[in-house]
Amino acid sequence: MSQISQLQSMDVATKRKEARTVIASSYLGSTIEYYDFLLYATAAAVVFPKVFFSGMDDWVGVVAAYGTFAAGYVARPLGGVIFGHFGDKLGRKGMLIVSMLVMGLASALIGLVPGASVAGPWGAVMLVVLRVFQGIAVGGEWGGAALMALEHSESGKRGFAASFVNAGAPSGAVLGTLIMGAFSALPNSQFLAWGWRVPFLLSFVLLAVGMFVRLKVSESPIFKAAIEQERAARNADSGLAGNNSAGKAVIPLLQVLRRPKTLIFTMLAGAAGFALQVVLATFAVTFAVSKGADRQGVLYAFAAASFISIAFVILGGRLSDKLGRRPVMIGGLVLFIAYLIPMFQLLSSNNILLVFVAFTIGLMIHSTLFGPLAAFVSEQFGTTSRYTGASLGYQLATLLGAGFTPGIVAQIFKDSGQDTGSVVFYLAAMSVVSIIFILLTREPKNNDLQTVRP
């Protein structure tokens, strides 16, 4: 029986059971990957300015640390292209295993990088190199995890299924922030000397867990069916033409670039969501601490708010199955624009409870945007180029929206005499741009994922 026939005849109960297994593994794997990737964000906010850029003015050191943070986002599109190419040619599962291995090793090695007092500027150089490998790994991870969840799910539940992959981001943030927060309770000298390194070294343990889970999942049935259908079509064309056209390679990246409007619109539609996400994880933490709030208290407040937001990411994905991806995403952006000024007022209160409220409301609003994003991006592309297209569109959005935003926002804040009004304007402008491009992008909720198209 062909893969296509198997896909059609598989009983509903079996398909649903397999879908639940894949969704659970995608969520766990994504959580581990984002623990590693976003742990760096926390460290860049509270540790790296003092360990790798000591001797500088406080906010200059913060900007420099955020510069190393940006390197990971610059590398994410490259990871999307590399892993996307092989994921579209060889399958989703294998690329997920490789991406997790790269991420785990790079993150653990960050915990071993010597500070400026030992290695001088070379410590920062090593930090950037390892951050690039982190970026390549997460650039490949997201697309594979999202597609595995999406392509195993029923058409009316794809937003819900794919949202679990994006829920891995706040889950990883919770785990990383709690562990970093626990070690930040050490005396400051010990925390800066070795305490911050332990959460990175724990990546070895999480890597073992993640690899065990990843090896258990099955390949995407839609991908296998599409590859068989494409191979059969090529063989038929070859037989009719009497030539060797079946051996011609199809390059997924070129398939995606033939429709550049889809890629560009997807990138700009998602950019603001990442800008708001990363500002909450980095600048907002630094800002609250600079206003006198206890560092450990701020980290725990962010962790608790991130934990609450996990449910809202999944709710956002579920709502998008009912209402459409675009209305839910636009609603989230509009609400966040309205919330920006109150958010910074709460963060500057020097009151941990109010700081917690600021993070909680911000992440709840953001989650309604973030939940549908995985399905919104992935559904824009055809099966045989979906890994490449979705990964590249999503990772370019992270580069544009998140890669440089912490550094830009910190610089704007510094140059304005530490006035949050200029920061609010910048973030609101980015949000308006994304709203425009979401409106210009077609609603993908009802697209047929089994159609093999570029």
Residues 4, 228: contact at Cβ < 8 Å? yes
Tell me which residue of 137, 437, 86 sits closest to 263, measured CA to CA. 437
pLDDT tens for the chain, 454 residues long, are 444 445 455 566 677 777 788 888 888 888 888 888 778 877 877 788 888 877 666 677 677 777 777 788 888 889 888 988 888 888 788 888 898 899 889 999 999 988 878 877 788 888 889 989 988 988 888 888 888 888 877 778 889 988 998 898 889 888 888 888 888 888 888 988 899 899 999 988 888 888 887 787 777 777 777 777 766 766 665 555 555 444 455 788 888 888 888 899 999 999 999 999 889 988 898 899 989 998 889 988 988 998 999 999 999 999 999 999 999 999 999 999 999 999 999 999 999 999 999 999 999 999 989 999 999 998 888 777 888 888 888 889 988 888 788 889 988 998 888 889 999 999 999 999 999 999 999 898 887 766 645 4
Residues 151, 10: contact at Cβ < 8 Å? no
Give the C-alpha separation, 367 to 43, whole Å: 23
Residues 180, 199: contact at Cβ < 8 Å? yes
Give the C-alpha separation, 376 to 368, whole Å: 13
* Model pTM score: 0.79
